[in-house]
């Protein structure tokens, strides 16, 4: 566990970082000169919504983060796709009902659009892969899995073809260590692996709300794998969060700065990505996301 870089959602999603591990990542070369932002990023910046003053209980109220400029991003070692490693993989662990199976497929479709990288779902793995020593009963009599075991003893052994990121999705609740009640996710950025739980996302939530939460969590988590820090510039899917209420209030959209960071290594067509995201949100009745993409498209058409 000492080698793992924990992504611990404090009570829910609180992300932690280990700066030492970042030095081990496969990286893009650091450019000698940082060029001004492309017109696309300037155009959509007007749609960025500035964060308000943090209130008690908010992530930034208790975590005084410095953020990450574009210059800091490109000068920090981080994973970028290559011809040899350019596929995102999802590994379902557990026994999923029909609605959960549908959500996992929609997460796959979304991540493929969001990162403009091929995304595949591996065959389901049975819960039997988790031994008794990595299980316990939670405070609500729900079964919980030790998240770190899934990383070190399940995912780390997998080497999917051309994989650049591997995320497990489980229907069981997770815990990171005995003294913690639960977590939603855990990750090792160095090993490019992570696990997220659907369990609490779906409690007392309709299909679309739980899907919206999953899309935010998975894109946020994998965004970290590609070098994005928590965003403090605008309401953004890369904002840190302490609770489901705070998560629900955060945008599913990457702000203009975070989009610029991601695109710097990926070199995808920004407008194509935006149109595909709008189509996805429309087809799945995710109205807030659709409206955000429409606003960005309107700005770049002028």
Q: What is residue 128's predicted lDDT score, i.e. its pLDDT?
A: 96
In whole angstroms, give the CA distance from residue 157 to residue 172: 21
Domain ranges for the chain, please list them.
Answer: 19-266
Report the Cα 144 to chain-centroid distance in Å: 21
pLDDT value at residue 136: 96
Q: Residue with structure tokens 């067509």?
A: 269
> Does residue 187 sit in helix, strand or coil?
strand
Q: How far apart are the first and last CA of the chain?
A: 51
The arrangement of strands across the sheet holding 185-188 comes to: 118-121, 87-93, 163-170, 193-197, 185-188
pLDDT < 50 stretches in the chain: 1-32
Q: 147, 174 in Cβ contact below 8 A?
A: yes
* Catalytic-role residue among 221, 233, 246, 276: 221
Task: Tell me the residue length of the chain.
Answer: 302
CA atoms within a 13 Å half-sphere pointing along the CA-CB vector of 31: 11
| Pairing of the two strands 143-146 and 135-137 | antiparallel
Q: Which residue has the tokens 């070199």?
A: 267
Q: What is the reported pLDDT for 33?
A: 65
Report the relative pairing of strands 143-146 and 173-175 from DSSP bridges. parallel
- Give, as one character, the DSSP assignment of residue 154: I
Question: What is the four-CA torsion angle of 208, 218, 157, 179, rounded to 10 degrees?
Answer: -90
Whether 9 and 15 have beta carbons less than 8 Å apart is answered as: yes
Q: Identify the CA nearest to 203 among candidates 213, 218, 216.
A: 213
Listing DSSP states for 219-275 in one string gives: HHHHHHHTT-----SSS-TT---SSHHHHHHS-SSPPHHHHHHHHHHH---HHHHHH
Phi, psi of 120, rounded to the nearest 5 degrees: -125, 150
CATH topology of domain 19-266: Collagenase (Catalytic Domain) (3.40.390)
Name the phi and psi angles at 26, rounded to 5.
-65, 130
Tell me 18's DSSP state: -
Q: Is 158 a catalytic residue?
A: no
Measured between alpha carbons, how far is 299 from 302 in angstroms, rounded to an integer?
6
Q: How many CB atoms lie within 10 A of CB 161?
A: 9
Residues 6 or more apart from 124 whose CB is under 8 A from it?
92, 93, 94, 95, 96
Residue 65: partners with Cβ closer than 8 Å, 6 or more residues away: 229, 230, 232, 240
């Amino acid at each position: 566990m000492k080698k793992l870089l924990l992504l611990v959602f404090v009570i829910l999603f609180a992300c932690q970082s280990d700066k030492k591990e970042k030095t081990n990542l496969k990286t893009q070369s650091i450019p000698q000169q940082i060029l001004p932002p492309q017109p696309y990023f300037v155009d959509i910046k007007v749609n960025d919504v500035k964060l308000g003053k943090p209130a008690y209980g908010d992530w930034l109220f208790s975590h005084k983060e410095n953020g990450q400029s574009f210059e800091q991003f490109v000068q920090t070692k981080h994973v970028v796709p290559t011809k040899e490693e350019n596929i995102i993989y999802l590994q379902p662990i557990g026994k999923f009902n029909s609605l959960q199976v549908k959500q996992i497929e929609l997460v796959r479709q979304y991540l493929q659009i969001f990162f403009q990288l091929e995304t595949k779902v591996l065959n389901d793995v049975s819960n039997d892969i988790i031994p008794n020593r990595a299980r316990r009963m939670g405070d609500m009599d729900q079964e919980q899995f030790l998240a770190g075991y899934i990383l070190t003893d399940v995912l780390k052994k997998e080497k999917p073809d051309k994989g650049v990121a591997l995320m497990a999705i489980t229907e069981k609740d997770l815990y990171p260590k005995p003294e913690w009640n639960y977590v939603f996710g855990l990750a090792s950025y160095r090993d490019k692996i992570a696990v997220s739980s659907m369990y609490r996302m779906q409690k007392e939530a309709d299909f679309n709300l739980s899907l919206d939460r999953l899309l935010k969590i998975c894109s946020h988590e994998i965004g970290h794998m590609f070098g994005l820090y928590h965003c403090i510039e605008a309401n953004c899917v890369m904002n840190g969060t302490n609770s489901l209420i705070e998560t629900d209030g955060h945008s599913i959209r990457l702000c203009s700065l975070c989009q610029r960071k991601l695109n710097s290594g990926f070199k995808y067509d920004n407008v194509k990505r935006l149109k595909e995201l709008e189509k996805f949100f429309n087809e799945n009745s995710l109205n807030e996301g659709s409206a955000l993409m429409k606003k960005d498209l309107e700005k770049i058409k002028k």
